[in-house]
């Protein structure tokens, strides 16, 4: 097992807090060996979609997940670092690391992972409940907007119909009054023309008397 640990360290896949003795020597009791591939992914912020990134540390803390001696994210990074190995070799290497470091056991990251899965599940449930609430509230607002639009548009159309009726009545009344005024004017013109004709005729006859008898009177004088 220790030889595998040495091999991994030389390959740059793990780092160790204590130098490893040659393969023939056993590690000192209580020596801390840190198998790490850099910062744990728990410290990293992962994104959900393309919007505001989630802070998983806050999610775990709010869910009451206790700090682990060996976080699940560290084991995940270790597994990713050993991805070039086949599954059997990778499992043997991780077991060797577990046996070489008494500060943690494989149960630590597994328990940490289980607790975090539950925390993420509860958080996902809250997100879904919140989404459902927002959907219901939004649908209520959309229904209110649709109802208001239907009422306002209906009222406007009713008013427009009433205005159209008023326009039609006014047009008809104006047409009738126009016709009556024009007829009255025509009748007045015709009457005036007839009367003028009568006046002209009477005047002409009277003038004829003057022309006929006026000359006789002049001659007798």
Task: Please indicate whether residue 49 or residue 112 has the higher confidence score (pLDDT).
Answer: 112
71 burial type by CB count under 10 A (0-12 exposed, 13-18 middle, 19+ buried):
buried
Give the three-class secondary structure for 38.
coil
Is residue 71 within 8 Å of residue 40, measured between CB atoms? yes
Q: Residue 121 phi/psi, 5° resolution?
A: -65, -45
Question: pTM to 2 decimals?
Answer: 0.53
Query: Structural domain boundaries of the chain?
Result: 2-133
Is residue 28 within 8 Å of residue 57, measured between CB atoms? no
- Nearest Cα neighbor of 71 from 101, 115, 30 is 115
Where residue 128 falls among pLDDT bands split at 50, 70, 90? very high
74 burial type by CB count under 10 A (0-12 exposed, 13-18 middle, 19+ buried):
buried
Question: Which range is most confident: 27-36, 81-90, 189-198?
Answer: 189-198
What's the 3-state SS for 108-162?
Answer: HHHHHHHHHHHHHHHHHHHHHHHHHHHHHHHHHHHHHHHHHHHHHHHHHHHHHHH
Report whether pLDDT(49) > 70: no
Where residue 176 falls among pLDDT bands split at 50, 70, 90? very high
Give me the count of residues in the chain.
221
Report whether pLDDT(21) > 80: no
Q: What is the mean pLDDT of residues 103-123?
A: 92
End-to-end CA distance of the chain: 175
C-alpha angle 136-138-139 in degrees, rounded to nearest 5: 65
Q: Which residues contact 23 (CB under 8 A, 6 or more apart)?
A: 2, 3, 6
Q: What is the mean pLDDT of residues 39-45?
A: 41
């Amino acid at each position: 097992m220790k030889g595998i640990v040495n091999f991994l360290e030389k390959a740059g896949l793990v780092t160790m807090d204590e130098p490893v003795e040659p393969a023939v020597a056993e590690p000192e009791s209580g020596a801390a060996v840190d198998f790490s591939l850099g910062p744990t992914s728990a410290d990293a912020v992962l994104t959900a979609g393309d919007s505001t990134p989630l802070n998983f540390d806050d999610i775990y803390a709010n869910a009451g997940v206790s700090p682990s001696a060996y976080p699940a994210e560290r084991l995940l990074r270790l597994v990713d670092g050993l991805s070039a190995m086949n599954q059997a070799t990778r499992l043997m290497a991780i077991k060797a690391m577990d046996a070489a470091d008494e500060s943690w056991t494989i149960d630590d990251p597994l328990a940490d992972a289980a607790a975090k899965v539950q925390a993420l599940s509860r958080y996902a449930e809250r997100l879904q409940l919140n989404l459902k609430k927002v959907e219901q509230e939004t649908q209520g607002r959309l229904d209110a907007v649709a109802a208001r639009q239907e009422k306002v548009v209906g009222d406007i159309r009713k008013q427009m119909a009433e205005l159209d009726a008023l326009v039609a009545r006014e047009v008809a009344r104006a047409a009738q009054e126009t016709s009556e005024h024009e007829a009255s004017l025509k009748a007045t013109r015709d009457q005036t023309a007839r009367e003028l004709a009568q006046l002209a005729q009477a005047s002409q006859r009277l003038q004829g008397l003057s022309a006929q008898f006026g000359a006789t009177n002049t001659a007798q004088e």
